[in-house]
Amino acid sequence: MSREKTAITVVFLILTAACSSSATGIATPVLADEAWKAVENYEYAYDTRDLSLLCETLDPEFLHHLLEEDWDDYNGDGTIDSNWDYDLEISLAQSLFSTCDSIDLTLTGLWYYPWPSDPSGESIAYPRHYTMELQINPDSIITETGQYTIVCRPDSTDDWRITHLIDSGISWI
């Protein structure tokens, strides 16, 4: 496919997504923009190692869904967990924030869609590629890349929160 044809196709897809309406079951751009603030806050919380912002950004019922190879007994109850909850996510972030000299999280992607597992139709899913650089000390930088689907939903005060983070693949560099 030529560059021009590819560019036209990309522009068409972006415009199609931007012009969609809630009447068709697709998230409206206004709602998607509001929900996107939660995704931006998540990224910023990691970049600045701001635990308070991360706490505000995640819904109290938050679940981090893991790849099958990462399933383990994270809460010590003797049962293998396929996900972990808000408390463990915050605890792990706190440990990461205190261990690293700096963190650079970059989320990339353009698409969003109504989260099909939410019968109310209020949740919006953002599939995103991420790159996270962790500087442990001046001589040690670890880079993790992968795919997430980040699901956001408004709470009772209409503030958007992240309710699910779904791992779709990770690689270490």
pLDDT one-digit tens code per residue, 20-32:
333 334 445 555 6
pLDDT reported for residue 31: 59
Q: Tell me the pTM.
A: 0.77
Helix ranges restricted to H, 67-152: 86-99
pLDDT of 3 higher than 60: no
96, two tokens: 């990461």
pLDDT one-digit tens code per residue, 69-127:
888 988 888 999 899 999 999 999 999 999 999 999 999 998 889 989 988 889 999 99
Name 123's Cβ contacts closer than 8 Å, sequence gap at least 6: 114, 115, 117, 151, 152, 153, 163
Cβ proximity of 89 and 58 under 8 Å: yes
Residue 152: pLDDT band (50, 70, 90) is very high
HEC assignment per residue over 49-73: CCHHHHHHHEEEEEEEECCHHHCEC
Domains of the chain: 27-172 (3.10.450.50)
